[in-house]
Every structure is written in structure tokens, then in C-alpha cells.
Amino acid sequence: MGGGAPGDDWRVGVNKDDIGDLWLSGYSKGGAMTYDMACLGEEVYAGFLPMSGAFQDWVPELCEHDARLIRHLQGAEDDKWPLNTADDPTSSHEGIIDSLRGLQSAGDGCMESAPVEEESCLSWPSCGVDVRLCFFEGGHTKPDGWILDHRAWIDGL
């Protein structure tokens, strides 16, 4: 938490007031955790950056908050998380599109409109915040330069 005296808490508390927006990211099961945290509606995070992972076991019926700012990175050939739950109904991994829709469930059906395709991403402008799914070449892995790619997107908001 950074509240201890300098020297006894890795000095995280020294600059805590200088921190700007916080973003949560995770890969694979960490991506699933990112979706769980986004659904909880924690306001401390400016947005969410999951990679190659979405809700696991089930998609919540209602995430009670406004649409969440999210950029999901996904390998186009990923064989672990299906694009849609119906693509692999026996998997414990929920579909990415279904998971994105679940996060926006309080967003007045904004995911029901057709997505807009931009470069290698799909976005849903009717959500009122940037909700996008971006694909990269490859399977269940993190793409080269992923952190710089996320940063460039954040800086462009």
C-alpha cells in the first residue's frame, strides 16, 4: 500500500501521490483475473488490458457499472481461449466476445451493434468508451512489444 516509513516498504510510499492512472493487465489466467477485476467495477483502475485470456468458467450475468475502458490483445491462432463460447462449449474458458459483452452488460447493450474494424482491431464505438479486441499473429502467447503497444494506445486516448 506504500503507507509505511521509507526503507521498510520498498519505498513505494515515497512517490505514491505522483502516480497517474493505474491500468490492470494480465496474460492468460491473469487475463481472466483482469476481467474479474473489471467486472467488480473497481474505480482505482482507469482501464483494463487483458491478453489471451477472458472470463473463466462463466460470464457474469451483470457487471453493475458503466462500460469499462478495455483493450484485449489476442493471438489470431490462440487455441486456449475461443473467440465465442459456442466455438468450444466444453471448455472452461469463456469466449472473448462473450466476455467483452459481459463486462459491458450495464452499458445499454452497446456490444449488440456490429463492431467497427480498424487495422487489426474490432471496436464498439456505441459503448461510449473505447472497447476493443486487437489481434496479433500467433497463438497463446504475448506478442513482441506488447507493453509499448498498450502504452501507445493509452497515450492516444
pLDDT for the residue 71: 96
What pTM value is reported for the model?
Answer: 0.84
Domain that holds residue 82: 21-150
Does 6 map to a domain?
A: no
Q: Is 48 a residue whose pLDDT tops 60? A: yes
Does 145 map to a domain?
A: yes
Cell 496474460 locates to 27
Does 109 map to a domain?
A: yes
In the numeric block, which cell numbers belong to residue 138? Answer: 500467433
Round to whole Å and give the CA distance between 99 and 135. Answer: 16
Cell 456490429 locates to 114
Q: Mean pLDDT score of the chain, rounded to an integer?
A: 86
Q: How far is CA 113 from the centre of its chain?
A: 19
Q: Is 63 a residue whose pLDDT tops 90? A: no
Could you tell me what percent of the chain has a pLDDT over 70? 85
Does 111 map to a domain?
A: yes
What total number of domains does the chain contain? 1
